[in-house]
Amino acid sequence: MTEGQDKPITDMSFEEALRALEGVVRSLESGDVPLDESIALYERGEELRKACQARLDAAQAKIEKIVAGADGAPTGTAPFDADS
């Protein structure tokens, strides 16, 4: 059984989800997993990948909204869903 296989993805931190995804990949690459389990692992891996990508996208959006002052130095941040 791979790490994080039973824990709901929504309860995982980014780091936990990434470790679980790495575990899924290792299991699938080993070739020692029966077909039905491989399919379940692949589905779990895809859900983990989507969750990680969503968190990375949200983090990138926040970073892109850093507010710069007249001198170009960061003066704070703005919510990524706020109008510019």
Residue 3 CA from chain centroid, whole number: 15
Could you state, in order of their start, the residue ranges of all structural domains in the chain?
A: 9-77
Residue 45 CA from chain centroid, whole number: 11
Which residue type, as a one-letter code, is found at position 68? A
More confident residue, 4 or 60: 60
pLDDT of residue 65: 74
Burial 39-53 (b: 16+ CB within 10 A, else e): eebeebbeebeebbe
CATH topology of domain 9-77: Helix Hairpins (1.10.287)
Confidence at 52, pLDDT banded by 50, 70, 90: very high
Please check the confidence at residue 1 and state whether its pLDDT lies above 60: no
Model confidence, pTM: 0.70
More confident residue, 15 or 70: 15
Is the C-alpha dihedral spanning 31, 36, 37, 38 positive or negative? positive
